[in-house]
C-alpha cells in the first residue's frame, strides 16, 4: 500500500522553523482526510513532539524508506539534485514549495506563495502562486484581533521561529 502524503522538510536548527511550520499547516489539513508523514533532517528532533501532537507520523530521514509514495512534498532550499531525483523516482507526484524560483524541472506541482506571477521555466508544472496560497496555521488564520491603537508605529514580522544566524532569537 502506498503512503499518501510525505513531507520532506528542512528542519535542522540552521534552517529555522518556517519550513516546518508552513508544511505543518498544510499537513494538518491533509491529515483530516489522508495519512501524512514528516521526514526531518538529522538535528530536527526538536520538532518530533510538536508534529506528533497533531497525530502526524514523523521520523528522521535516515530511518525512513522513501519507496512507494503517492505525494511527496518538499519544503527547503538545500536539497541536492540527487535527492530530488530519488524522490521523483519513488513517488507519483512531487510537490515543491518554492520561495526563490528554484523549483526543479521534475516537480509536478509548485506552490509559490511569495511569487505573485510565478511562471514555470519548464512549462509542464501546475503552479499555485501568490498570497492566496500562503500556508498559515489555524492559530493565526482564525485570529481576528486588531491593534487597540489607531496608529501603529512599528511592527515585528518574523518568518519563522529562528533564522539561520539566530538574529531573531
Please provide the DSSP assignment of 10-67 as one string.
--SGGG-SHHHHHHHHHHHHHTTTS-EEEEE-TT-GGGHHHHHTTT-EEEEGGG----
pLDDT tens digit string along 100-113? Answer: 888 888 899 999 88
| pLDDT in the model for residue 57 | 93
Q: How many CB atoms lie within 10 A of CB 155?
A: 6
Helix (H) or strand (E) holding 72: strand 69-75
Banded pLDDT at 62 (limits 50, 70, 90)? confident
pLDDT tens digit string along 14-39? Answer: 887 889 998 999 999 999 999 999 99
Query: pTM here?
Result: 0.80
What is the DSSP-derived secondary structure letter of residue 136? -
Banded pLDDT at 155 (limits 50, 70, 90)? confident
How many residues comprise the chain? 169
Please identify which residue in the block is written with the cell numbers 483530516: 32
| Whether the predicted pLDDT of 128 surpasses 80 | yes
Q: Is 166 exposed, middle or buried (0-12, 13-18, 19+ CB in 10 A)?
A: exposed
| pLDDT in the model for residue 139 | 67
| Whether the predicted pLDDT of 72 surpasses 70 | yes
Choice between 126 and 116, residue whose per-residue pLDDT is larger: 126
| pLDDT in the model for residue 110 | 92
Mean pLDDT, residues 3-24: 89
Give buried/exposed letters for 34-56 (b at 16+ CB in 10 A, else e): ebbbbbbbeebeebeeebeeeeb
Mean pLDDT, residues 125-144: 76
Give the SS3 label for residue 70: strand
| Whether the predicted pLDDT of 43 surpasses 80 | yes
Is 133 in contact with 147 (CB distance < 8 Å)? no
Banded pLDDT at 55 (limits 50, 70, 90)? very high
Mean pLDDT, residues 38-45: 92
Amino acid at each position: 500500500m502506498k503512503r499518501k502524503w510525505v513531507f520532506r522538510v528542512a528542519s535542522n536548527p540552521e534552517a529555522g522553523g518556517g519550513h516546518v511550520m508552513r508544511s505543518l499547516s498544510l499537513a494538518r489539513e491533509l491529515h483530516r482526510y489522508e495519512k501524512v508523514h514528516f521526514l526531518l533532517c538529522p538535528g530536527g528532533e526538536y520538532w518530533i513532539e510538536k508534529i506528533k501532537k497533531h497525530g502526524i507520523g514523523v521520523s528522521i530521514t535516515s530511518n525512513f524508506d522513501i519507496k512507494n509514495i503517492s505525494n511527496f512534498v518538499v519544503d527547503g532550499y538545500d536539497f541536492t539534485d540527487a535527492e530530488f531525483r530519488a524522490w521523483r523516482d519513488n513517488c507519483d507526484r512531487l510537490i515543491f514549495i518554492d520561495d526563490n524560483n528554484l523549483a526543479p524541472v521534475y516537480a509536478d506541482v509548485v506552490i509559490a506563495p511569495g511569487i505573485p506571477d510565478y511562471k514555470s521555466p519548464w512549462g509542464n508544472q501546475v503552479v499555485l502562486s501568490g498570497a492566496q496560497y500562503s500556508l498559515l496555521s489555524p492559530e493565526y488564520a482564525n485570529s481576528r484581533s486588531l491593534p487597540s491603537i489607531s496608529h501603529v508605529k512599528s511592527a515585528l514580522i518574523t518568518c519563522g521561529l529562528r533564522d539561520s544566524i539566530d538574529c531573531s532569537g
